[in-house]
Structure 1
Amino acid sequence: MRQRHLTCPCDTGTGFASTSLSEGLGALQCSGCQGVLIALDDYRRWREHHPDVPAPPAAATVAATNEPAFARPCPACGRPMSRHRVGLLPDFRLDRCSPCQLVWCDDGEWTRLSHARLAQALDHILTDAWQQALVAQENRARREAEIRKRLGDDTYEELQRIRQWLATQPNRVELIGLLSAD
């Protein structure tokens, strides 16, 4: 990534230095907060040469980080960066500036992405589909917890067993109708 006038979101006044996140993937690292700035063009070129790891499902679990709850300013243009959740409980967010095509990772987040086998999925994480899948999974988990609390674990597990059995039956609709009939 070519250095231009950049201001770190940590606002320590420290500069950026070139670093290597992975073989062939360079980034700029703040000498103050240790966060890294990745140019998406550089990432995509790296990804083309490292396609061996498939994109995992959106439910991937990653370690939590201590990150602020606010949108960071882009180090290049100063506009608020959009925040993108990485996974479910615990999770963290990556910050992206769409106009500048830059992604900010707090100290250690790239390592967490790599350990969770998500480094090659950065483009997927930044999509609306990934974000919507996280919300849907969160809603399913909340709904499951609610049902378990109301009916109990044994009843819930039996319902899941019946549901799986019904899914394999060719006359599933008729069976469901018979179950709900008086």
Structure 2
Amino acid sequence: MTEENITQKIDNLLAEIKDDDLSEKGSETLSLIKDAFKRVLFNTPERTPADGKINMAKVNKEAGQKRGAIYHYKDFVKQARNIIPVYKEWEKNGGSLADTSESAELTALMNENADLKYKNNKLKNDKEEAFELRDAMKAHADKVMTNNANLEQALLTKLYEIEQLQEQIERLEQEKANLAKLIQLQPVK
């Protein structure tokens, strides 16, 4: 089996992984994981040591994902576990994808492509987070303004009630004073 054949076989196996039921972000993450898997498989990782070891945790880390994120993509994990023995057997029989210049160029292009995709996804996520934060802050500000308006209205209502009560107290005190004068002026019978 030639290098092209093994590369084609790997690409075919990875292409079989369905991402139809994933969200756009999930599909992008799966794409990052696939690219990271190829880099680890070709022994040209960017984020992890190039020690020849291939495992799901290393692929996950190479893809820049949180711990265990790779296991949300069960089809990928299943297919990757099928690919690894095929690749190891091919490499054991004399082939080494990382040793050829064509493979190195291809890997470099794949790495650059994956890096650009990663940066693009990160920028999209940052933009989405900024918009979400802006919307949350606006909603909070609107709520505060509404609460302030309600409190101001309640305060004005209470001040008006206090003024009315003070006027009523003044009237009652005036009536009391008038009654007291009347009582003093009337002769006792």
Whether the TM-score (by the shorter chain) exceeds 0.5 is no
Higher relative contact order (CA 8 A, sep 6+): 2
Q: Which has the higher strand share?
A: 1
Structure 1 length-normalised TM:
0.28
